[in-house]
A and B are shown apart, each in its own frame.
Chain A
């Protein structure tokens, strides 16, 4: 039996690696995307352009404006002459923020009478808008306490960010992106493997051989698994070397977890493949799984925040567990007991999907 599986494994390797174009398409895009995304993407807002309507035109108002100018978030400052100007700047998205200072600004401050300034944020880029609003308020408040320091009881917040002291968004992004790219590659490798053999007629040849469904599955599982494990480990290594991703955990557990997590994704891929007649169906089928899997993995919004029903659904999502474990091991040095509880869930997913795929082989013989 082992001989037969070994023969199948060898053949699968050859089939994937033989064609230089297919080799390229497996390796290059994930790595390139990792590099691009790690360099380009951040949730921090930089280079914010703003417009100012300074009705006060005093030293005080100019001081407030220069506070904006000096902060690291804001780039260009335009000056408007009237309300209409402000509206135009925002409407055409030349700026994301407007600051309006009333003419009683300076006199109020001098008399120690509380005054207000208007901050208008373009709400169309909603996720950015909240952050920009926060930054702008901070600048104003900081200026306010600078010119009139508060006295009396106050809370001094001592903030510590464990595992990622400077909240480097890039580290977070790297871990999540590696999981997503591993998912995409593994799924495509496996989803097409059976569908392609069906389309080309070689699957019959396999069925007629003494290979049992279990052996076929084993042979179809190992090569994509090895390729994607290597690719994933390579991406992690690259992140550690080039992006200084801190590595706190054990390499042993990282290896085990990567293998098991990708094993469960292989299971999903083979299950999709076993359902499909053509390559097109397999490609689109894999895609249909992959988009929701990424969205509901906790990458975009935390799982514990989702409606109860959706939270149950995420138990079937290998990406979710994969992200918890990689982040846990890389950043936090997660304990084996905690790792194992996540791995059990992944093994369960693998077991169910692979059994279903094996069962589909038999059924598909019409």
Chain B
């Protein structure tokens, strides 16, 4: 009995693999999309040294102020354009050609030379809220630096308390070190949920489920026969992404591969559960895929804590993130990559994933029918 169980499951798994190999779209989602995303994150997106395009309008004729304009020009943080015509500068801000503007009033140097606070106008494009923060702070930083080395500096004194800022685990707060491991969590979610959401629906649509159910296949066979192949595919994809991250793009990895694979497999187990649950309930590929995107993928992307901080959400939403499996894996994998294995983090996240995955497995098992539904 034991042996024939294994034999049946083996046959089902093998069959599923043939189907995976023959459909280019499963390879696309398991290897091409992860690679594409990693490449985009590595080369296309830059979250650290944002260079803000700013317009400068100088109304102060004093010669010393020219050096301020030059400091803006030389800064590595901003790309500055000097305008003569204020209206043109305003228009360029509306056109999104500029993200911010600095206007030096004509009495700027007068105030400074009298050792009085002198007004400097900084205007940002608030419609690009993220960039506006940079467009606010970079000119302030540059202008203060200029002031400290300018001829007006003599009255300045150093601040009494200096904050010494250090970032642990990621000294230069290089965002690639963070977004790329995070991308692994996202693509694993994608394989686990989107791909598996289609596979049981497909068997019903194509009429092969009926043939399967007429053999001695049991519920447990059907369920494990779906879990195992997508588990293997997902793990292969995860290993591939890890390889690209660590070996090709040289993202520092301080943790243990064994821990990543162990918690990763728990995570995948949970995701496949979500996908199969959708698939067994909907039996229609269009609906299954839409549901998978709406229920599984978008929350994973937006609410897992990778893109947006969970602590800043309203309390109700913070609780809600606890039912998103990706949340746990994101926390774990970031910590594992940057801080190494922290047992407490491994343990807490694993328990959550295990409980979730187990519950989902049981639900999928219960929901998998051994008979055709009452429809002719």
Tell me, in angstroms, the Cα distance from A75 to B312 when the chains sit together.
11
Contact A153 B116 (CB under 8 A): yes
In the complex, which residues 308-328 of chain B have their Cβ closer than 8 Å to any Cβ of chain A? 308-309, 311-314, 317, 320
Extra pairs beyond A46-B309, A150-B159 (4, CB < 8 Å): A124-B339, A151-B155, A301-B46, A328-B94
Of all chain B residues, the one with the shortest Cβ separation from A90 is B168
- Assess whether B160 is interfacial by the CB under 8 Å rule: yes
Interface check B244, CB cutoff 8 A: no
CB-nearest residue of chain A relative to B331?
A93
Contact residues in A for B342 (Cβ distance below 8 Å): 91-92
A124-B338 in contact (CB<8A): yes
Q: Please list the 7 inter-chain residue pairs (A to B) with the smallest Cβ-Cβ separation, ordered nearest first.
A: A152-B155, A164-B126, A123-B170, A126-B178, A29-B294, A161-B126, A172-B129
Interface string of B96-131 (1 = CB under 8 A from A): 100100000000000111011111111111111111
Contact code string A269-282 (vs B, CB < 8 Å = 1, else 0): 00000000011110
Task: Give CA–CA (A140, B159) in the complex, Å.
Answer: 10
Chain B hits for A136, CB < 8 A? 163, 165
* Distance A144 CA – B159 CA, assembled complex (angstroms): 7
Known contacts A283-B198, A301-B47; decide if A40 and B314 are in contact (CB<8 Å). yes
A291-B37, A301-B50, A302-B99 are contacts. A124–B170 as well, Cβ < 8 Å? yes
By a beta-carbon cutoff of 8 Å, the part of chain A in contact with chain B is 21-22, 25-26, 29, 32-33, 36-37, 39-49, 64, 75, 90-93, 96, 109, 112, 114-130, 133-134, 136-137, 140-141, 143-145, 147-148, 150-165, 167-169, 171-173, 175, 184, 188, 192, 196, 278-281, 283-285, 287-288, 291-292, 295-296, 300-302, 304-307, 310, 324, 327-328, 330-335, 338
Tell me which residues across on chain A come within 8 A of B303, comparing CB atoms. Answer: 36, 40-41
A130-B173, A300-B47 known; A159 and B165 CB under 8 Å? Answer: no
Give bound CA distance, A180 to B138, whole Å.
30
Q: Are B345 and A164 in contact (CB under 8 A)?
A: no
- The docked-state distance in angstroms from the alpha carbon of A2 to that of B2 is 66
B207 within 8 Å of A by Cβ? no
Give B288 Cβ to nearest chain A Cβ, in Å: 9
Complex: how many Å from CA A324 to CA B156? 43
Query: Binary interface profile of B, 126-170, with partner A (CB < 8 Å = 1, else 0)?
Result: 111111110011011001100100001111111111111111111
**How far does the alpha carbon of A36 sit from the alpha carbon of B67 in the complex, in Å?**
48
Question: Nearest chain B CB to A348's CB is how many angstroms away?
Answer: 19
- Among the listed stretches B20-28, B259-267, B368-376, which one makes contact with chain A, having 4 or more residues with CB under 8 Å of it? B20-28
Q: Contact mask B325-338 → A, CB, 8 Å, 1/0?
A: 00000010011001
A45 to B313, CA, bound (A): 9
Which residues on B are within 8 Å of A, measured CB to CB? 23-26, 28-29, 32-33, 36-37, 40-41, 43-47, 50-51, 53, 91, 93-96, 99, 111-113, 115-133, 136-137, 139-140, 143-144, 147, 152-171, 173-175, 177-179, 190, 194-195, 198, 202, 284-287, 289-291, 293-294, 298, 302-303, 305, 307-309, 311-314, 317, 320, 331, 334-335, 338-339, 342, 344-345
Known A-B contacts A158-B120, A295-B40; A125 and B159 likewise in contact (beta carbons under 8 Å): no
Do residues A160 and B44 form an inter-chain contact, with CB atoms below 8 A? no
CA distance A82 to B235 in the complex (A): 41
Say how far B341's CB is from chain A's closest CB, in angstroms: 11
Nearest Cβ on chain B to A1's Cβ, whole angstroms: 30
Closest to B134 in A: A302
Nearest-neighbour CB distance to chain A for B189, whole angstroms, equals: 12
Known: A29-B290, A126-B175, A169-B129. A338 touches B95 (CB 8 A): yes
Q: How far is the CB of A311 from chain B (nearest CB, A)?
A: 9
- Enumerate chain A residues within 8 angstroms of B132, measured Cβ to Cβ: 161, 164, 167
Cα A70 to Cα B314 in complex, Å, equals 20
A162-B123 contact in complex given A155-B118, A280-B285, A302-B99, C-beta closer than 8 Å = yes
Q: Which B residues touch A335, using CB under 8 A?
A: 91, 94
Contacts of A128 in B (CB 8 A): 309
**B24 engages A172 (CB within 8 Å):** no
Min Cβ gap A37→B in Å is 6
Chain A residues with CB under 8 Å of B45's CB are: 295-296, 300-301, 306
Give CA–CA (A167, B94) in the complex, Å.
Answer: 16
Q: Which residues of A contact B194 (CB under 8 A)?
A: 283-284, 287
Contact: A305 with B46, CB < 8 Å? Answer: yes
- Say yes or no: A155 contacts B169, CB within 8 Å: no
By the criterion CB–CB under 8 Å, are B161 and A115 in contact?
A: yes
Please pick, from A147, A165, A281, A288, the residue contacting B126 in the complex, using a CB distance under 8 A: A165
CB distance from B374 to the nearest CB of A (A): 18
Say whether A124 contacts B334, CB under 8 Å.
Answer: yes
- Nearest CB of chain A from residue B225's CB, rounded to whole Å: 19
Taking CB atoms, residues of chain B closer than 8 Å to A32 are 294
Which residues from A are CB-within-8-Å of B51?
Answer: 304-305
The CA of A167 and the CA of B320, in the complex, are separated in Å by 26
Name A302's closest neighbour in chain B (CB-CB): B131
Q: How far is the CA of A278 from the CA of B308 in the complex (A)?
A: 35
Question: Are A47's CB and B44's CB within 8 A?
Answer: no
Verify A305–B50 contact, CB threshold 8 A. Answer: yes
| A117, B162: Cα distance in complex, Å | 6
B161:A117 contact, CB within 8 angstroms: yes
Q: Are A46 and B93 in contact (CB under 8 A)?
A: no
